[in-house]
Amino acid sequence: MHSISAIQQNKLISCKVYRCCGCGRATDAKDARYIYKKSCICRACFAGIRSVEGSKRFFGDYYKDYTYSPFYYDGVFRHIFLSFKFNGNLAFGHLLGMATGESLSDINELHCYDAIVPIPLSRERLNERGYNQSLIIAEYISRAIDVPVIELLKRTVNTPAQSISVGTSRTRNLIGAFKAASDTASKRVILFDDIHTTGSTLNAGMVALKNAGAADVCYVTAAYVYSD
C-alpha cells in the first residue's frame, strides 16, 4: 500500500473546483469569495452584488423603525436568490447566508439583541418547499452576530406566495397573519425576512411581536428592493 504524498495531496486540493452559482463557471478556491460544498460565489460575481451602505430607515404603515439590508435585490443577488427559493438550490441559500452574515457582523447595534426571529412559512408552504429560506439565512446571521435564532412567530393564516407587489391592500391583509409565542415578552428581537419589498410582512410580524410584549424590534433582511 502506498500512501499519497503531501505533494500529491496538495495538488488534489488545489485542483478542486467549485461551480459559481452566479455565472456558472468552474472556479478554484482562490477565486471563490464564499464556498459551500461544491458551490461558490466567485469573486467577480460577488463584486457585482450591490451593497446597501449603513442602515436604511423603514417607513411602515404602523410603526417606524430601523431596518438593515446589506444588499440590493437585483442582478447577481436576485439570480442566486430565485434559484435558492424556487428551484430548491439549497447550497445557494447557504452562500447567501454567509454573505449576509458577514456583511451584518460589523453592525454593533445588532449584537445587543436577544433573538433573531425568522418570518415563518405556513405549514402548507413548508411541506411544499421543504425548507424555510429565511431560517437558513438567519442561522448564518446568528453565528455572525452571536444572537440565537428563536422561532417565536407562527403563521395563523396561509397567505399567497410573496411577490414583488406594491400596495396597501397587501399590508392590511397581512396584519393578524402571525402570532408570537408568550416568551416573546421583554425580549429585544431582530425580525428577519429574506427580501424587503413593501415591508408589509415585516410590519405584520412586528405587530404580533409587540402585541406579545417584545421590548424592541428591528428588521433585518438579506436584500432590499430598490425603487425610485
Residues that bind Zn ion (CB under 5 A): 20, 22-23, 42, 45
User: CA dist 65 to 9, 22, 57, 89, 124, Å?
Assistant: 53, 33, 7, 33, 31
In the complex with Zn ion, the residue whose CB is nearer, 38 or 172, is 38
Instruction: Report the nearest approach of Zn ion to the CB of residue 23 (Å).
Output: 3
Instruction: Report the nearest approach of Zn ion to the CB of residue 44 (Å).
Output: 5
Instruction: Report the nearest approach of Zn ion to the CB of residue 122 (Å).
Output: 34
In the complex with Zn ion, the residue whose CB is nearer, 23 or 126, is 23
Rounded-to-integer distance, Cα 158 and Cα 122, Å: 6
> Which letter does DSSP use for residue 127 in this model?
H
Rounded-to-integer distance, Cα 54 and Cα 197, Å: 18
In the complex with Zn ion, the residue whose CB is nearer, 92 or 113, is 92
CB 116 within 8 A of CB 150: yes
In the complex with Zn ion, the residue whose CB is nearer, 21 or 52, is 21
Rounded-to-integer distance, Cα 84 and Cα 82, Å: 5
Rounded-to-integer distance, Cα 148 and Cα 186, Å: 16
Instruction: Report the nearest approach of Zn ion to the CB of residue 25 (Å).
Output: 6
